[in-house]
Amino acid sequence: MKNKSLLTIEECLKPHFKATLFLSYLKYIKIHYPDVSIDKLFEDTPLNEKSLNDSSLWISVKFERKFMENITRCVGKNIAYEVGKFGASEE
């Protein structure tokens, strides 16, 4: 029986979000949560950090949900607000 939490490449690559949008999460986590394994954030998905650096790549809502679920699990809370403030303060 297939694990329903595993996403296929087709499920991850839908034109909903630019992949580079998620780079701010990785940058924030590397600075504020250095003990968190970046690879764990991509668990149950076929993508990785290198994938997000592709400016031509688009990401699906399904990937976004799994990625955010993994971040919350690894960090211990939802950090979307903090990442938004962090991104805005860099400009």
Burial of 45 per CB tally in 10 Å (0-12, 13-18, 19+): buried
List the beta strands (DSSP E) in the chain.
Answer: 17-18, 58-59
What pTM was computed for the model?
Answer: 0.84
Residue 6: what pLDDT? 87
pLDDT in tens, 13-34: 888 999 988 999 999 999 999 9
% of the chain residues with pLDDT over 70 = 92
Q: How many CB atoms lie within 10 A of CB 52?
A: 20
Please, are residues 21 and 80 in contact by the beta-carbon 8 Å criterion? no
Helical (H) or strand (E) element with 41: helix 38-41
